[in-house]
Structure 1
Amino acid sequence: MFDALTDRLEEAWKKLRGQNIITHANIQETLKEVRRALLEADVNLQVVKDFIADIEKSAIGVKVIQGVNPGQQFIKVVYEELVKVMGESNSPLAKAESDPTVILMVGLQGTGKTTATAKLAHYLKKQKQSCLMVAADIYRPAAIDQLKTLGQQIEVPVFELGNQENPVNIALQGVNKAKEIEADVVIIDTAGRLQIDQGMMLELTQIKESINPHDTLLVVDAMTGQEAANLAQTFHEKIKITGTILTKMDGDTRGGAALSVRKVSGQPIKFVGVGEKIEALQPFYPDRMASRILNMGDILTLVEKAQEEIDFSDMEQLQSKILDAKFDFNDFLKQTRLMKSMGSFSNILKMVPGLNKINTKDIEKGENELKRTEAMIGSMTLEERKDPDLLAKSPSRRYRIAKGSGYSETEISKLIKNFTRMRTMMQQLGNGGMPGMGGGMPGMGGGMPGMGGGMPGMGNLFSQGPSNGFRDHSQVNQKKKAKKIKKKKGFGSL
């Protein structure tokens, strides 16, 4: 997300190196780079012009604080202006005084509107709100079936009357059904078109007048850049939208849509889609997005994602196991799956200040090693997972796991040896008063991929040298053969 824009902006800051104060003269080269970066990011031209003018006005004359270089102070100015452009604060969904709250979803075909409807219902369900989705798209083939399938997946009911009924009537009856079942929120998925036309707008206007929604959300594809902003402006002029949902933000390396929509249309971005999974929908926070664009990370979103996934009663039990050095392979699997549920390593690292520039190859290496470890653990018995010490004492068990997982006995031995080392280290960190789970991510020992350790918290299970206190079958057999050869040649025993 925003990788191209971030890289170009970082180049711009270098223009201010060696300066003692930000002046009209020495800021011009930097402003040119910022302007070029924004235009390449497909930000609306007028937005770029206003943005550059506001930055120049705010930055010129700022004295450089001792110990802080002009580039850093300029970044602060840019950050504040980015937040202003994107809306300054989060815009929550409207809430009805008496249930249900009615949300109307609109947009063109291909923007992920039906999926966004289900994602929003899933998000609200996690907020302890009951939902009903209404399938009012009677034109696109399988649109109703798609919404029903998604509804089953997230366990949210779907109201539909088939594809022969009038969409206005479907929407109206859907709202009545939501009142009947006492749902907190009803979300209406309407039909899209390949382009804006009079018939589409007329139908949306009729639906809106009949149900009087509290929120009318336009779903737009972030990868279309400033065209997303123009689309939002057109829809707002025609039917008065109250906000937008930007989909496919995870694939948008430019950022033009996020930086243009609010300024051009005057309507806030309320949510962003950051992946294909049903839970990949996040409320939009301008300050957090500005931090990501400027490579500052996004710790608040990371913490919120962790809070959603972590069961704190499990964490207490796990902490007790760590302190007693009883952390086993089952616990490790549970923690790695928790990490996966929060997203890919690359997305998680981009939210951590200072770690978002880790080499992609290092991250991929860590993810691949994690898969290898899971395969090895999958070949262990339940008894072996609960008691890793059994494997340290038994070459035959390691031999069987190697055969079952498709890896060598040497790799199995290193896995067990490094797991034992990690468990001891985690116990020491925990007893030393480290906050939370003994340092770093829950139960992971504090490591991160690409930070000299490969896989998170495992100290790189595959590359820490020879095994400690035991040898695998292949090593034993090799030494036996060497011993026999030396005896035959009269060199004595090893």
Structure 2
Amino acid sequence: MFENLTEKLQRAFKHLRGQGTLTEENIQEAMREIRVALLEADVNLNVVKELIDHIRDKAVGAEVMTALSPSEQVIKIVRDELIALLGKDTARFKFAPQPPTVILMAGLQGSGKTTTTGKLAAWLKKGGHRPILVSVDVYRPAAREQLKVVAKSIDAKIYEGDLKGEQPGSKLVERLANEARREARNFGFDTLIVDTAGRLHVDEELMTEMEQLKKLLNPQEILFVADAMTGQDAVNSAQDFHKRLGLTGVVLTKMDGDARGGAALSIRHVTGQPIKFIGTGEKPDAFEPFHPDRIVGRILGMGDILSLVEKAEATLDKKKSEEFAKKALLGDGFTLEDFRDQLKQIKKLGSMESILKMLPSVGPFAGMQQAASQVDEKQFVRLEAMINSMTPHERRNHDIISGSRRKRIAAGSGTSVQEVNQLLRQYAQMAKMFKSMGKGGLAKQMMRGGMGALGMGRQKFGR
């Protein structure tokens, strides 16, 4: 979502490249461009003014570090100030001394609150917790049904409760919340996530109900779910909720969309509360803790290698990866079956666009992010279909695939003979490359390092 902001900031930094020293004149020009870039990204006006003042104060008259050029010096200052704006450290999640920990989900209708409730439950489960969900939106039956579907998709417990024909209102809301907390205590659930009712706008009835729930449940976390696509509207709503409820954190949804990024850069400054999580897609696992330094890295075109490494570690099958490395790099035979298995592994990480966008957009990786949008994801499906249309013997011995066999494979996979030929060429090139790597000793080095190589990468990037 930060592509436009990244591009404009890079343009501002470009003006400083080639400058021998930092002067008030060239800094002033860069500050103008940075200001415009932030305003066009829908960052709050007061936030922009304060941020620019801080950057200018630190840049003007700053002694340029010997290891940095003037442009790099300004980039470092902008990076430090953006990290300070977003909260420096990754926000911690609060748990109750005695379970259950109660989490109250707040937000306007359509912000993705119910989906986020499920994603948070999935994240807690991954961390060894036992969450239970409850919807207290008694005004829209569809909302309660949606949470039920979400809970089933992540195999989480939900307390439905019996409405007993009661009229929708605060008494019914409080009864369901109380019963859900009792259910959590009785059956050993350590976390209760309460999905509350939303409105199309902030109103007195909604706020009063939320205040009553807060008084009743004494939650450890009150998370405001904000749609990043709504920009400053999300910031204003968060400010209103915080005044009445005292939010403990914010969750930004739809961060994978084409929003301009202003909400992410404004919401913490305006509310004073940290962004704790971001939603990056529709799937339950498209949810991650908010790391200010990594987000700033993305904004400045430095990429987010650490998140990519963590995603790979959490998603990819370590045993299969090691087996593949042994076969491909140590000369034990890289077959089309192995090629297909690696395609499946890559697909687990998400789209190629999302993977490549975590790489830096400067230096040797420049241009990769633009190329990412042109990747045909359906090509992976076609490649897999072609390999599946081969016999096991053909997959293990590609040399026997004659012209007639290629026609059969093309017909079976709904592709053309030309595409089958292209697949076999690509496979042959990869096999040759792996073989040469094995001969050069790189393979043995990688096998010795194993997953430890990732650990070295973490140290290098400051983990």
Q: State the TM-score, normalized to the length of structure 1.
A: 0.84
How far residue 268 of structure 1 moved from its aligned partner, in angstroms, is 0.5
Question: Would you say the 8 A contact 1:247–1:272 is kept in 2?
Answer: yes
Distance across 1 between alignment mates of 2:275 and 2:438: 42
- Note if contact 1:333-1:374 (Cα within 8 Å) is conserved in structure 2: yes
Between the aligned partners of 1:136 and 1:334, the Cα distance in structure 2 is 44
Q: How far apart, in 2, do the equivalents of 1:416 and 1:195 lie?
A: 57
> Are the aligned partners of 1:4 and 1:253 in contact in 2 as well (CA < 8 Å)?
no
- Select which of 426, 433, 448 maps to 2:442: 433
SS of residue matched to 2:82? helix
Counterpart check, 1:187 vs 2:193: yes
Q: Which moved more, 1:268-277 or 1:349-358?
A: 349-358
Asked whether the 8 Å contact 1:427–1:438 carries over to 2, the reply is no
Higher mean C-alpha displacement, 233-242 vs 9-18:
9-18
Question: Under a length normalisation based on structure 2, what TM-score does the superposition of the two structures give?
Answer: 0.89
* 1:18 counterpart letter in structure 2: G
Match in the other structure for 1:344? 351
User: Which one of 310, 316, 320 corresponds to residue 314 of structure 1?
Assistant: 320
Q: What is the CA-CA distance between 1:317 and the residue it aligns to? A: 1.9
d(CA) in 2 for partners of 1:385 and 1:174?
A: 54
Matches within 5 A, 1:12-51: 12-51=12-51
Alignment-derived partner of residue 456 in structure 2: none
Instruction: Flag the 1:36–1:194 CA change in 2: closer, same or farther, 3 A.
Output: same
Displacement of 1:237: 0.7
The answer to whether the 8 Å contact 1:130/1:185 transfers is yes
Q: What SS class does the counterpart of residue 129 from structure 1 fall into? A: coil
Q: Which amino acid aligns with 1:383?
A: H
Q: CA deviation at 1:438?
A: 11
Match of 2:218 in 1: 212
Conservation of the 8 A alpha-carbon contact between 1:117 and 1:189:
yes
| Aligned equivalents of 1:438, 1:331: Cα separation in 2 | 21
Partners of 1:144 and 1:399 in 2: CA distance? 52
8 Å contact from structure 2 (residues 102, 191) kept in 1: yes
SS at match of 2:117: helix
Give the deviation of 1:436 after TM superposition.
Answer: 4.2
8 Å CA contact 1:95–1:101 kept in 2: the answer is: yes
The reply to whether residue 377 of structure 1 matches residue 387 of structure 2 is yes
- The amino acid that maps onto 2:335 is D
Q: What SS class does the counterpart of residue 62 from structure 2 fall into? A: coil
Task: Determine the structure 2 residue equivalent to 1:332.
Answer: 339
User: What is the total number of aligned residue pairs between the two structures?
Assistant: 439
Hey, what's the Cα distance between the residues in 2 that align with 1:88 and 1:362?
30
- Larger RCO, structures 1/2 (Cα 8 Å, 6+ apart): 2
Question: How far apart are 1:413 and its partner, in Å?
Answer: 2.9
Per the alignment, in what secondary structure is the counterpart of residue 184 of structure 2? helix
Answer yes or no: is the 8 Å Cα contact 2:316–2:348 preserved in 1. Answer: no
Spell out, residue by residue over 1:89-145, the C-alpha distance to the aligned partner (whole angstroms, 9 max, x if none). Answer: 111210121222111101110000000000111111111222111121111241111
The corresponding residue for 2:302 is 296
- Conserved 8 A contact 1:131-1:187: yes
| CA-atom RMSD in angstroms | 2.2
Q: What are the ranges of 5 or more consecutive residues in structure 1 without an aligned counterpart?
A: 442-494
Partner of 1:413: 421
C-alpha separation in 1, matches of 2:409 and 2:144? 48
After superposing the two structures, state which structure 1 stretch, 331-340 or 76-85, moved more: 331-340
Letter in 2 for 1:332: F
1:402 pairs, out of 410, 430, 437, with 410
| 1:350–1:356 Cα contact (<8 Å) kept | no
The percent of aligned pairs where both chains have the same amino acid is 47
Instruction: Letter of the 2:354 partner, please give it.
Output: N
Deviation of 1:269 after TM superposition, in Å, equals 0.3
Aligned CA distance change for structure 1 residues 397 and 437 (closer, same or farther; 3 Å)? farther
Alpha-carbon distance in structure 1 between the residues aligned to 2:369 and 2:408: 36
1:367 to 374, 377, 389: 377
Deviations 1:25-48 (A, max 9, x none): 221111011111111111111111
Decide whether aligned partners of structure 1 residues 93 and 65 sit closer, same or farther in structure 2, where only a CA change above 3 A counts. closer
Does structure 2 retain, via aligned residues, the 8 Å contact 1:297–1:356?
A: no
User: Is the contact between residue 21 and residue 61 of structure 1 (CA under 8 Å) also seen in structure 2?
Assistant: no
- Report Cα offsets for 1:56-82 as digits up to 9, x if no partner: 111112234457431121111100000
Higher mean C-alpha deviation, range 265-274 or range 200-209: 200-209
Structure with greater Cα Rg: 1
* Change in 2 beyond 3 A, CA 1:400/1:440: farther
Q: Return 5+ residue gaps in structure 2 as ranges.
A: 167-171, 452-463
